[in-house]
Amino acid sequence: MNARPRAWLRVLLPVLAAAALVLGAVAATAAPGRPSSVRAPRAAAAAGHASAAACNPYASSLRPPPGPPQVTPGSFMEKIRARGYLIAGVDQNTYHFGFRNPFDGQIEGFDIDMIKAVSQAIFGNPDQVHYKAIPDSLREKDVQSGVVDIVAHTMTILCKRLKNEDFSSVYFNAAQKVLVLKTSAARSLADLRGQKVCATVESDSLAAIVKYGAIPVAVPYWTDCLVLLQQGDVAAISTDDAILAGLAAQDPWTMILRPVVSQQPYGLAISKQHPDFVRFVNAVLEQLRTDGQWAASYAHWIGHPVLAPPQAQYAD
């Protein structure tokens, strides 16, 4: 393949820097931009650093009560209903999961569908939500401080995070991989030893980059990483394949390398002060798994074939 045209690159950069590029439904289902099928591994291989006896990110959440989600008297859900809207911390730069549609200004994606389902369960309306767009670095801080009620932000359940905030059951299984230009000779993260690899500030991807001997470059947003890759300022981007899929869909000159760096189970983050809300959200997710809504959202945002939703496991 010929080298990438520099003139074309300079035209593309300002567009990508806007962080809201949408290429349409065809791009959303293109093979280079689709996360691989990931099975939830045993606890010993799961994300995080605690032993299986101490922590299992796949079975760390609170079991919901039987039946559909219910807003009970005195619950945190009742307080949210009285306020009149749910406050959700989300991304606006991750194509497929949480991004701002440039045509209507609305934030949408797979993660946003999860939040809409919670709003529907509380209010009977999926749109009674105030979205707070936050970078990766504020996800934990905002949920711990109560600035937001819930975070839906391609957020991996990690043992170290479970010490500070609660999570829902796993709603999506991702895997950390690597994105490079198609002209790159690298075939794994190990091949990038001594080279610059981009990730976002305070993302768990940075630790893996360091572990493999690459030089981490931390930026606020994943679209910043894409611009740096296009400019030749970094050799690669490493994060979850779900995020890389959105970046690859925006740039046909990139490709996702096949080797898996680590497993990344996603959960919705909630303050430890509201265990009733954790159980409520898990009831919502269970409903989505069984009534076809999860599958419909996956098909719409990620593509076909549609994988089975992660089976819920609980700590209690």
- Residue 111: φ, ψ to 5°: -60, -40
Cα–Cα distance for residue pair 185/174, rounded to 1 Å: 25
Higher pLDDT, 13 or 224: 224
Q: How far apart (Å, rounded) are the C-alpha atoms in residues 174 and 242? A: 6
The better pLDDT of the pair 19, 294 is held by 294
Per-residue pLDDT reduced to its tens digit, 224-252: 999 999 999 999 999 999 999 999 999 99
Mean pLDDT check: name the lowest of 26-35, 148-157, 244-253, 260-269: 26-35
The confidence score (pLDDT) of residue 6 equals 40
Q: In this predicted model, which residue has the larger pLDDT, 121 or 53?
A: 121
Q: How confident is the model at residue 54 (pLDDT cuts 50, 70, 90)?
A: confident
pLDDT-based confidence at residue 45 (cuts at 50, 70, 90)? very low
67 DSSP β-pair partners: none
pTM recorded for the entire structure: 0.84
**CA distances in angstroms from 42 to 91, 163, 313, listed in the order given:** 29, 20, 12
**Does residue 198 or residue 5 have the better pLDDT?**
198
The whole-chain average pLDDT of the chain stands at 87
Length in residues, the chain: 316
Spell out the SS3 assignment of the chain.
Answer: CCCCCHHHHHHHHHHHHCCCCCCCHHHHCCHHHCCCCCCCCCHHHCCCCCCCCCCCHHHCECCCCCCCCCCCCCCHHHHHHHHCCEEEEECCEECCCEEECCCCCCEECHHHHHHHHHHHHHHCCCCCEEEEECCHHHHHHHHHHCCCCEEECCCECCHHHHCCCEECCCCEEEEEEEEEECCCCCCCHHHHCCCEEEEECCCCHHHHHHHCCCEEEEECCHHHHHHHHHHCCCCEEEEEHHHHHHHHHHCCCEEEEEEEEEEEEECCEECCCCHHHHHHHHHHHHHHHHHCHHHHHHHHHCCCCCCCCCCCCECC
The tokens describing 282, both together, are: 């898990």
- Percent of the chain predicted with pLDDT > 70: 83
CATH 3.40.190.10 applies to domain 174-264: yes
The one-letter code for the residue type at 38 is: V
Which structure tokens are listed for 180? 């490079």
pLDDT exceeds 80 at position 10? no
Residue 42 pLDDT grade (very low, low, confident, very high; cuts 50, 70, 90): very low
Cα–Cα dist 243/299, whole Å: 16
Give pLDDT tens digits for 102-129: 999 999 999 999 999 999 999 999 999 9
Name residues whose C-beta falls within 8 Å of residue 308's C-beta, 6 or more positions apart in sequence.
Answer: none
Query: What ranges do the domains of the chain cover?
Result: 55-171+267-301, 174-264
Q: Which residues contact 208 (CB under 8 A, 6 or more apart)?
A: 176, 189, 238, 261, 262
Residues of the chain above pLDDT 90, percent: 83
Residue 85: other Cβ atoms inside 10 A: 17
Under the banding of pLDDT at 50, 70 and 90, the label for residue 46 is very low
* Token representation of residue 219: 């930026």
Task: Tell me how far the alpha carbon of residue 225 is from its chain's centroid.
Answer: 16
Model confidence at 223: pLDDT above 60: yes
Q: Which residue has the higher pLDDT, 56 or 5?
A: 56
| The CATH classification of domain 55-171+267-301, taken from the options 3.40.190.10, 1.20.140.160, 3.40.50.720, 3.30.9.10 | 3.40.190.10
Residue 77 pLDDT greater than 60, yes or no: yes
Residue with more model confidence, 101 or 36: 101
Question: Residues 6 or more apart from 27 whose CB is under 8 A from it?
Answer: 33, 249, 250
Which pLDDT score, from 0 to 100, does residue 3 have? 44
Q: What's the CA gap between 200 and 1, in Å, rounded?
A: 30
pLDDT computed for residue 35 by the predictor? 54
Q: Which residues contact 234 (CB under 8 A, 6 or more apart)?
A: 195, 196, 197, 198, 217, 225, 228
193-205 mean pLDDT: 96
- Which one-letter amino acid corresponds to residue 195? Q
Amino acid identity of residue 296, one-letter, is A
Query: What integer pLDDT is reported at residue 192 of this predicted model?
Result: 98
Which pLDDT does position 4 carry in this prediction?
46
What's the rounded Cα separation, in Å, for the pair 138 and 184? 33
